[in-house]
Amino acid sequence: MGWLLKGMNSAQKRAQRQADFQRALLHYEGRIGSQIFGPVQSGGRREFFCLDAHTWVWHEEWTDQQKQRRVMTTRYDVRPNGILKSQGVNQYRPLAVEEEKHFRQAVRLYTEQVTAEYRRLLGTA
């Protein structure tokens, strides 16, 4: 990564460091959020995080019973008139009532856990 920064001016370097920092925060929050849905299967990976003001992502990787590697990414688009969901290359569709209830509960738990972890790290807990 150091070689990339050498050819940049100071504003570009600052922007790159900020982008790297934001990416690291997303991964950190994704790991915290992964615990909301229970334990992750051995050898699997899960992340649940808030990408921006309107977008949530649930990404999961696992190995099925036939030893095939599986990957599923679900994007949630929170809009004033409802929450839309897209998985893989599928188009967005509205959440069912029960699914929206579960999503809202996951967001609440995520927010509580991420806030508590940042407070702990900052020594303000």
Q: Per residue in 9-26, pLDDT tens?
A: 788 778 888 888 888 888
Q: Is the pLDDT of residue 1 over 60?
A: no
* Confidence tier at 6 by pLDDT (50, 70, 90): low
Q: Per residue in 54-64, pLDDT tens?
A: 999 999 999 98
Classify residue 78 by burial, with Cβ atoms within 10 Å: 0-12, 13-18, 19+: middle
Specify the pLDDT at position 2. Answer: 58
> How is residue 53 annotated by DSSP?
T
> Rounded mean pLDDT of 33-44?
86
